[in-house]
Amino acid sequence: MGSRSGEGWASAVASFRSCPTAFLSHGAGDTFVAELLQELRGERLGEQIKISMLTLLLEYPTLLCPDAKAGQEVAASLLSLFGQLGPSSKQQAYLRCQLLYAMATVLVATDSFAESCQAAHEYFSLLLQLVSDLNDCRGGATERPVRVAACECLRELESCYPGLLSQRLAVLRSLQHQETSPAHQSYTLLYGLALRNAILRLARRGGLGTLGELLESKEGLVWEATRELGDLSVATLEQLALLPSPGDVKDLKAVVSSLLDSSYLLSSVAQSHLLWQLAQAVSVVRTQSPAIFKAQLVRLFGTAGVTLQHAILQLKGLFTDSLFTAEDEAFLLRRLVGLAQHPALPAPVKLFHLDCLLHFPENRPLGSATEDEGLPVLLTPRTTSGLFPGLFQDQGTVLARLNLLCLVCVESEGPTAERAVGYLLEHVLTLGGLVARGGGPEATRLFFRAAFLFTRYFGSREQPMAELTQCLLGLYRQNCALAPNLIDLLDEAWKFPEEGGWAGGLAQALQGLVVGVPLQEEDLAWHLKVLARLAKEKDVPQGSTMQFLRRLVASGRLGGWRSGQVLLSVCRNLMQLRPLPAPAHLADLLQAVSLSHLDVDVRDRARFYYTLLANLSGEKLGAVLAPGGAVKARTLSSSIVADSQSFVASLTVHPVQPAPLRLQRVGASGNRPEQAPHPEQDVEGYCQWLLEPRAPSQLSLTYQLVHMGPSSPPYDLLLCVVLRFMCSDRHYEPVPELCVPCLSAARPPRTLTLTLQPRCPYPTQLDVFALYTTQEGLTRSSQLEPLEVAFPDLFMPLAVPSWSLEKRRRLFGALWQRLHPDSSEAGAESLTTWPVAPQSLPSLVCDHFSRYVLAEQSGSYEIGMALPPQYHILLRVQSVGEAACVGIRTDNWRLLPSLNSYLQSLVEAN
């Protein structure tokens, strides 16, 4: 079988990443994983290439291992490969790490990690063996990354199957306590997670022993965890309770205290993980006070790390006043406010602290626990005075601060809150001034988002909302292209009932502005868009809109197709209102548009609306114009449909099984070769012509459409037969339909030619569906037996001129050299044998390859075949003793598995 070079594998990995499903569907799916594993065992490729190949198993495990059996086989192969790689260089240690990650990924992703899986047992034993090499005693410092990777893999397994290591806590504790190298962090995180999951599992299931026995356990894996549900949520923790004995609580306290005392040695992220795991474990043990974390709070209150700040808030949300006093809460709030405006911190970190203020877990919250955002009671306009937004801040900071300050002002009272509202309104109006001075799309988006936030909180206050309304009207008067922004603002405001009053006032003011401006064709489309949106609201009077439309039609300046479509959308929305505003004037308006508009499409649509308005009642008119709405049955003449069952039947496709027709293969493959070049051409020129790129060849198969149904009506005559083909894979282009005018039981079968366009020359199966009409006028469908396209059906003779035997033998030799694996054509080579006696070999070759033999002599045959779309196969058959040796060369190595199976099947058949 042909093999790729290092560059070939790099190209294959890149192709796989670009489109994995397409890569596997083009013939590589059956052999790709096997080749990948084989190359990983070899020594031809460098470590970097092998690592990039392993990342495919990490990123696409279910694509490469579609079922549990495949996952177990791949994991077993990777285990064997890991055993071959002994401790060596740092680069090879990294490769071994990737192997450990790949094994865990494959076993978990394919649901293969179970008690019945031998590879899972061996993999777990390997991980334990690796993590037992404490302080680099056996493997040295170069093996430390492998031990860390083993810890991470055990932690991943414990995360996927909580409680898996719950009966080995004493072993994990001993390893964590003895490890003093930089790998200590991985051992600590592994033990913390296992301890947390074990305690939660004990509290959830009960009857599994005591807490003390759990802490001292040294047994094997808990395989039941692989069949249970996943991790517990924080909400579920409140429903769990564990009441151990005082002695067990003392042991737990000693373990937790030891982990907390040494946690300062860990990184910030690792500390946050460990604190959260231990906090969840302690929260379940109701007899253990959370005051055990108090010493850590004193240390963490002085840090500015984001992860540790988040850990503090997690502890506060879990334990509230059991751990945090009122003074602690006030200090934490002041610290968050200070960090949210600290000039040395980047913008994303300050936004994080602002979000922490919006979701601050109070000791005794006054609001509902289901609210998305709520402020602590201690947060007032005075304490947040430094958080007012500025003009030179980024959009995210401005909007986040504005949202926070609006909440503060809404929940506060007094003159300080009123002054703060004035400051916020002034800031929003200033942003509007930037838009008026041509601030660009960024300034426009910022202003309208800020305006929406302000209206969301203060929409019921008349004075500030009146100023904001005047600002919005002034902006639209200056630039009508802001119509989509205003429409979007109105849509969002109407979603909240409390701001509906202000939105209605803005809508009427905007309507008055639009109908009062002079008619200008360049702004007409924007004005009509605004009126079309306002026409949907029944609470907005539409009299002025109708006057504007009549004035527009009378002026004759209706614009082009786009303006005409928007004008008709205004009319459509008006037609859907109940009661209908001025139906007579609206009908006159539509009639005038249908007669005077320059665009024929607009005229036709206006005429259609006029017809509907003049002939349908209000209820039917609303049902017809409703976008995607359900139309009542009586609006579709249900009485006629109900009285005509034949009409319903004629619109239905009736399935029929078994099918009354069948496709029957006629003869063997009759594929013809291409037009050969001139006979006087030399051998080298012909080889170059044969292997050069050209239009893909097609595959033609002949079938007879045979009538198989009863010879009596209605199936004795099938009319308008349409055969549709669906390929079972993606190796072929879509197959065109075949149509037969009629198929009768009294007439001979019809001969049909099915033309296939292979993308890759692989065997396939075609599902066939027939659609036809019987004599009573009903349309019926049937699924026919699938059509098998075998591998020999793809063979085509080479287009060889009428040359002599000697010249054909030279031709075969030249092609054989060109398809050598080391040649420029990058061919592939293989070898197989036939256990065929010399006297039986000629008949075997004649029966199956007579059309493809280029040259022969005593006991030797040289065979050449072409396969669509443009591939070639050469066979050199030689009789050796009581067997025949078949040499194979091809320009597509993916054909070798199918070709070898076909060649062996010939011998088995004989």
425-443 residue pLDDT tens:
999 999 999 999 988 889 9
pLDDT of residue 374: 66
- pLDDT-based confidence at 641, cuts 50/70/90? very low
The answer to whether the CB of 563 falls within 8 A of the CB of 543 is no
Q: In whole angstroms, give the CA distance from residue 200 to residue 853.
A: 74
The answer to whether the CB of 197 falls within 8 A of the CB of 163 is yes
- Say whether pLDDT at 189 is over 70: yes
Lowest mean per-residue pLDDT among 302-316, 364-378, 533-547: 364-378
The answer to whether the CB of 55 falls within 8 A of the CB of 20 is no
Query: Which of 740, 758, 792 marks a domain boundary?
Result: 792
- pLDDT-based confidence at 103, cuts 50/70/90? very high
* More confident call, 685 vs 860: 860
Q: In whole angstroms, give the CA distance from residue 797 to residue 802.
A: 13
- Say whether pLDDT at 673 is over 70: no
716-742 residue pLDDT tens:
888 889 999 988 777 888 888 898 888
- Say whether pLDDT at 700 is over 70: yes
Secondary-structure breakdown of the chain: helix, strand, coil percentages, each rounded to the nearest 5:
55, 10, 30
Q: Which of 675, 671, 669, 672 is nearest to 690 (CA)?
A: 675
Structure pTM?
0.62
Is residue 126 assigned to a domain?
A: no
Residue 538 CA, chain-centre distance (Å), reads: 42
- 826 & 707 share domain: no
Q: Which two tokens stand for residue 556?
A: 């004759």
Is residue 591 assigned to a domain?
A: yes
Counting residues of the chain whose pLDDT is more than 70, the rounded percentage is 90
Query: Which of 792, 815, 833 marks a domain boundary?
Result: 792
- pLDDT-based confidence at 321, cuts 50/70/90? confident
- Say whether pLDDT at 247 is over 80: yes
Average pLDDT (789-798) is: 88
Query: Which of 727, 757, 792 marks a domain boundary?
Result: 792
- 766 & 811 share domain: no
539-566 residue pLDDT tens:
888 888 888 888 888 888 787 888 888 8
Q: In whole angstroms, give the CA distance from residue 568 to residue 609.
A: 9
- 605 & 589 share domain: yes
* More confident call, 702 vs 642: 702
Would strands 699-707 and 661-665 be described as parallel, antiparallel, or unpaired?
antiparallel
Q: In sequence order, what are the residues at sequence separation of 6 or more whose Cβ sits closer than 8 angstroms to the Cβ of residue 836?
A: 844, 883, 884, 907, 910
Beta-bridge partner residues of 878: 860, 885
- 704 & 603 share domain: no
* More confident call, 369 vs 502: 502
- 661 & 767 share domain: yes
Is residue 554 assigned to a domain?
A: yes
pLDDT of residue 638: 42
Lowest mean per-residue pLDDT among 177-181, 188-192, 486-490, 678-682: 678-682
- 732 & 769 share domain: yes
Is residue 68 assigned to a domain?
A: no
Q: Which two tokens stand for residue 736?
A: 């065109």
Q: In sequence order, what are the residues at sequence separation of 6 or more whose Cβ sits closer than 8 angstroms to the Cβ of residue 748?
A: none
DSSP-assigned letters across all residues of 484-511: HHHHHHHHHHHTSGGGHHHHHHHHHHHH
Average pLDDT (51-61) is: 89
- 786 & 828 share domain: no
The answer to whether the CB of 589 falls within 8 A of the CB of 553 is yes
* Positions of E strands within 12-166: none
- Say whether pLDDT at 158 is over 70: yes
Is residue 767 assigned to a domain?
A: yes
Counting residues of the chain whose pLDDT is more than 90, the rounded percentage is 19
Q: How many Å is the maximal CA-CA distance in the chain? A: 113
- pLDDT-based confidence at 3, cuts 50/70/90? low
Lowest mean per-residue pLDDT among 234-238, 306-310, 464-468, 802-806: 234-238
Residues making up the chain, counted from first to last: 910
Task: Report helix, strand or coil for 721.
Answer: strand
Rounded to a whole number of angstroms, the distance between the first and last alpha carbons of the chain is: 26
- pLDDT-based confidence at 124, cuts 50/70/90? very high
pLDDT of residue 663: 92
Would strands 653-655 and 779-789 be described as parallel, antiparallel, or unpaired?
parallel
pLDDT of residue 678: 60
* More confident call, 512 vs 137: 512
Is residue 274 assigned to a domain?
A: no
- Say whether pLDDT at 632 is over 50: no
The answer to whether the CB of 699 falls within 8 A of the CB of 758 is yes
- 658 & 774 share domain: yes
Other beta carbons within 10 Å of 93:
21
pLDDT of residue 768: 92
Left, alpha or beta for 89 (phi > 0: left; psi -120 to 50: alpha)? Answer: beta
The count of domains in the chain is 3
| Per-residue buried b or exposed e for 337-350, using 16+ beta carbons within 10 Å of the residue's own CB | bebbbeeebeeebb
Average pLDDT (510-517) is: 88
- 660 & 592 share domain: no
Q: Which of 866, 870, 890, 872 is nearest to 695 (CA)?
A: 870
Task: Report helix, strand or coil for 705.
Answer: strand
pLDDT of residue 561: 84
Q: Phi, psi (5° rounding) for residue 775?
A: -65, -25
pLDDT of residue 368: 46
Task: Report helix, strand or coil for 832.
Answer: strand
Q: Which of 792, 793, 841, 817 is nearest to 889 (CA)?
A: 817
Beta-bridge partner residues of 871: 867
pLDDT of residue 643: 38
- pLDDT-based confidence at 149, cuts 50/70/90? very high
pLDDT of residue 118: 92
- 808 & 759 share domain: no
444-464 residue pLDDT tens:
999 999 999 999 888 888 889
Reported as type and span, the H/E element at residue 192 is helix 184-205
- 572 & 663 share domain: no
Q: Which two tokens stand for residue 10?
A: 């790099």
The answer to whether the CB of 106 falls within 8 A of the CB of 60 is no
- Say whether pLDDT at 681 is over 90: no
CATH of the domain at 829: 3.30.310.10
The answer to whether the CB of 179 falls within 8 A of the CB of 187 is yes
Q: Which two tokens stand for residue 701?
A: 């198969």
- Say whether pLDDT at 1 is over 50: no
pLDDT of residue 366: 55
List the domain range (segments joined by +) for residue 686: 651-668+681-792
Name the DSSP letter for residue 262.
T
Q: Which two tokens stand for residue 458?
A: 């203060």
Q: In whole angstroms, give the CA distance from residue 841 to residue 878.
A: 9
SS (H, E, C) 205-248: HCCCCCHHHHHCCCCCCCHHHHHCCCCCCHHHHCCCCECCCHHH
Q: In sequence order, what are the residues at sequence separation of 6 or more whose Cβ sits closer than 8 angstroms to the Cβ of residue 105?
A: 57, 58, 61
Which burial class, exposed, middle or buried, applies to 625 when counting CB atoms under 10 A from its CB (0-12, 13-18, 19+)? Answer: middle
Q: Phi, psi (5° rounding) for residue 41?
A: -75, -30
Q: Which two tokens stand for residue 398?
A: 């401005």
* More confident call, 756 vs 683: 756
Structure-derived torsion over alpha carbons of residues 637, 638, 642, 647, reported in degrees to the nearest 10: 50
pLDDT of residue 279: 92
Q: In whole angstroms, give the CA distance from residue 738 to residue 724.
A: 7
Q: In whole angstroms, give the CA distance from residue 649 to residue 281.
A: 67
Q: In whole angstroms, give the CA distance from residue 406 to residue 410.
A: 6
Task: Report helix, strand or coil for 16.
Answer: helix
- pLDDT-based confidence at 672, cuts 50/70/90? low
Q: In whole angstroms, give the CA distance from residue 412 to residue 376.
A: 11
* More confident call, 326 vs 621: 326
- Say whether pLDDT at 269 is over 60: yes
The answer to whether the CB of 836 falls within 8 A of the CB of 910 is yes
pLDDT of residue 452: 92
Is residue 834 assigned to a domain?
A: yes
Place of tokens 């601050």: 360
* More confident call, 700 vs 652: 700
User: What mean pLDDT value characterizes the chain?
Assistant: 84
- 728 & 773 share domain: yes
- pLDDT-based confidence at 43, cuts 50/70/90? confident
CATH of the domain at 693: 2.60.40.10
Q: In whole angstroms, give the CA distance from residue 566 to residue 532.
A: 7
- Say whether pLDDT at 669 is over 60: no
Is residue 874 assigned to a domain?
A: yes
pLDDT of residue 631: 42
pLDDT of residue 898: 86
